[in-house]
Amino acid sequence: MAFNVKNEVLIRVYVVLVFIVLAAAAIITKTLQISVLEGDKWRSKGEELYLKEVPMEAERGNIITEDGSMLATSMPFFDIAFDPNSSAIDSADWVQNLDSLAYCLATYVNPEYTPGGMRDFLIQQKQEGKRYVVIKKDATISEKDLISSFPLFRLGQFRGGLIVMQKFNREFPFRLLARRTIGYVSGDSIEVGLEGSFNNELKGEEGTQLMYKVGGGMWIPIDNLAKIEPKPGRDIVTSIDVNLQDIVEGALAKAMIRHQAEYGTAILMEVKTGAIRGIANLGWTRQGKLIETYNYAVGAATEPGSTFKLASMLALLEDGYVDMNDSIDLEQGRTLYFDSEMQDAYPHTLNNVPVIQAFGMSSNVGISRLMQKYYGEKNNADRFIQHLHDFFLDVPTGIEINGEVTPFIKRAYSSEDQWSGTTLPWMATGYELTITPLQLLAFYNAVANDGVYVKPYLVKEVQQYGETLKRFPVTEVKGRIASKKAIRKAQILLESVVDSTWGTGYSLRAESYRFAGKTGTAQLGYQRLENITKVKGYQASFAGYFPAEDPVYSCIVLISQPKVAGIYGGQVALPVFKEIADKAIATRLELYPVINAEKAVALEDRALPTYDAGFAPDLQYVLKELGMKYFNKSDGEWAALKAEAPDSLKLLKRPVVNNLVPNVIGMGLRDALFLLENKGLKVQVNGNYGKVKQQSVRPGTRSNGQTVWIRLG
């Protein structure tokens, strides 16, 4: 019995032993598998928990103007932290620098702490084992340099525990100036303006940095040989002129406020090159703030209204159907096309007028009747549409920013395009088609450029470190959009809008220079009903160029839905154009007419300073400074000027005799008072300015202290 119990115990021991051996073997096997066979895999997984390669942001390239002014630039900022438990911090360095470090941080970085309080805070962070203590976020370069010079920190990342993480913020030195044109990039899918279109050039190449995970989910950089420095982006040189951009934006903003319009856009372009010197797009936020909300210049295609009449007239002139002095019946401003009535913008009683007058006064009836007469048949309508293609009014300009829409021009007699019997006359006046302001400006620019079409552009070069990597040449289309003869007549039509008394721009013509262009007023959201046309609003515009004789700039202004102080192009958009032109001319002295370009014309004797009198040396000095030739017949202190023939002046003697009343006629008040009072005479003066015209006591009368009245004039 005892034997059986012993055997049973031994069996149980052996069974347990076998399980122990098997478990040990399994553990050993698994250990070998993990450490040897799968060692690399698990070691890398372990490292991933504490080490990772993090992308390093590259410095984004600048967007600059032609003269080097910054429109957009990346400014470096720094998040600065402290690792009080860095293994490389020597205890002696810690003790030696703690007090002075606390003083510097409390004094220059975080004045909410006293130096003693900051010292206690640093000790507490070290005792709690913290590896990442925030010192300052978004520090500037100067702030970073200052903090890096503090005691202990100056020893660097490891010995001093200083952690510096660089990042870049996009800055706009001119604030809202051209912001929509400059644009932005958001995430991987939203790319707007120049920032978006040239993102590949601007963004540069990211680098990589090995980072170590510390407590609190924070990561700190580790210096290692595998670190890859980021490559900065390239710079974009634009055609924008900061001064002209400011002029364009300021003029448009004033009009937006004055007329309480929904939105507005204005573009200033160089005629010969197509370089856009200023472009503004303004709208309102919900808070009532005026900002660049959308790029209406390239992204908003609308019915242009009367500014499109230039295209209609250029087609007629090119085909030789009309001349400027031909007569057209305006039917007193009202006519019918089938069951639709067309009216001129202003009521009048005119019938037969020259074509140039019909264009200058922007007669819808006159222009539409010409178009219907000569292009009403299908073949001729095709011819008109082909002219619009030749004028590049059916294609985008290809400007270097995203979002440009394609114009819509109907095909002649196309049911798909809903061509009807009234389409052609309404197209002639700028309806039943859509086009962007920039596309229309490019057409006007070609007319200003004697028919040569140039592609509008915003970007001139791609640079890096000041060296040109890529240059974008001026793109000029071969040939002309129309014959030189037709173009010159179109230019005269545009000049008549401003120079002629009947023109819609006559009231704002300039005195020191001439400009040419066309006003436009388009109805928005209109419905042509049986007896009335319902309109939801208006769009005012003006397109043109200046100076008229030798155009340097073309410009278009479009303001949508003005609510107060006028609705017509001549009231709303033309003043903006005029302000832009005035100020742009003022920035270019070479655009002013040269006063002395021609030989000086001899002045008539009535234009010369005859009978001016005074102190002889003073008169001679003034004549010399003015470059006026004269014959000196004076040998005394006082003299008078006399004009005897064109460009002929004589300086004659004006005698002053003791005890006699002197002749002061022609003198200024100062000289007259000096002479009279020195003779003991009392003087009373009538008038506030000018020369002495009369004196009450006859010259040559004996002076005995009497009162002399003198009149200035």
Dihedral of CA atoms 305, 308, 309, 310 in degrees, nearest 10, equals 150
Q: Give pLDDT tens digits for 352-364.
A: 999 999 999 999 9
Q: Let me know: does 206 contact 58? Beta carbons within 8 Å.
A: yes
CATH class of 54-62+72-176+208-234: alpha beta
Rounded to an integer, the average pLDDT of 10-28 is: 75
Q: How far apart are the first and last CA of the chain?
A: 157
Structure tokens at 690: 């000018």
Q: Is the pLDDT of residue 630 over 60?
A: yes
Q: Is the pLDDT of residue 280 over 90?
A: yes
Q: Give the integer Cα–Cα distance in Å for 438 and 266.
A: 9
Q: Is the pLDDT of residue 340 over 90?
A: no
What is the reported pLDDT for 382? 95
Return the CATH number of the domain spanning residue range 245-591.
3.40.710.10
Confidence bin at 217 (pLDDT 50/70/90): low
Q: Is the pLDDT of residue 472 over 60?
A: yes
What is the residue extent of each domain of the chain?
2-52, 54-62+72-176+208-234, 245-591, 605-712
What is the reported pLDDT for 475? 92
3-state secondary structure 100-119: HHHHHHHHHHCCCCCHHHHH
Confidence bin at 207 (pLDDT 50/70/90): confident
What is the reported pLDDT for 595? 60
Average model confidence (pLDDT) across the chain: 88
Q: Give the integer Cα–Cα distance in Å for 608 and 627.
A: 13
Confidence bin at 687 (pLDDT 50/70/90): confident
Range in 4-13, 236-245, 457-466, 679-688 with the lowest mean pLDDT: 4-13
Dihedral of CA atoms 544, 545, 550, 553 in degrees, nearest 10, equals -160
Range in 256-270, 281-295, 320-334, 585-599 with the lowest mean pLDDT: 585-599
Rounded to an integer, the average pLDDT of 591-605 is: 62
Confidence bin at 47 (pLDDT 50/70/90): very low
Q: Give the integer Cα–Cα distance in Å for 532 and 536.
A: 13
Q: Give the integer Cα–Cα distance in Å for 630 and 619.
A: 11
Alpha carbons within 13 angstroms on the beta-carbon side of residue 29 total 6
Q: Is 561 left (phi over 0), alpha (psi -120 to 50) or beta?
A: left
Q: Is the pLDDT of residue 600 over 80?
A: no
Q: Is the pLDDT of residue 35 over 80?
A: no
Higher per-residue pLDDT: 400 or 229 = 400
What is the reported pLDDT for 48? 47
Most distant CA atoms of the chain, gap in Å: 178
If you average pLDDT over each of 28-32, 642-646, 690-694, which comes out highest?
690-694
Question: In which element (H, E) is residue 489 found?
Answer: helix 484-499
Single out the residue of 569, 480, 554, 463 nearest to residue 523, CA to CA.
569
Range in 228-232, 273-277, 498-502 with the lowest mean pLDDT: 228-232
Q: Give pLDDT tens digits for 123-142.
A: 999 998 888 899 999 999 99
Q: Is the dihedral of CA 488, 490, 494, 496 positive or negative?
A: positive
Structure tokens at 544: 């043109």
Confidence bin at 2 (pLDDT 50/70/90): low
Rounded to an integer, the average pLDDT of 487-515 is: 95
Q: Is 138 left (phi over 0), alpha (psi -120 to 50) or beta?
A: left
Confidence bin at 626 (pLDDT 50/70/90): confident
Confidence bin at 26 (pLDDT 50/70/90): confident
Structure tokens at 187: 């995430």
Higher per-residue pLDDT: 594 or 315 = 315
Single out the residue of 567, 541, 544, 441 nearest to residue 490, CA to CA.
544
Q: Let me know: does 554 contact 540? Beta carbons within 8 Å.
A: no
Higher per-residue pLDDT: 245 or 643 = 245
Contacts of 528 (CB under 8 A, 6+ apart): 340
Confidence bin at 87 (pLDDT 50/70/90): confident
Single out the residue of 138, 158, 136 nearest to residue 147, CA to CA.
136
Q: Is the pLDDT of residue 606 over 70?
A: no
Whether the ω angle into residue 151 lies within 30 degrees of 0, i.e. cis, is no
Q: Give pLDDT tens digits for 542-581.
A: 999 999 999 999 999 999 999 999 999 999 999 999 999 9
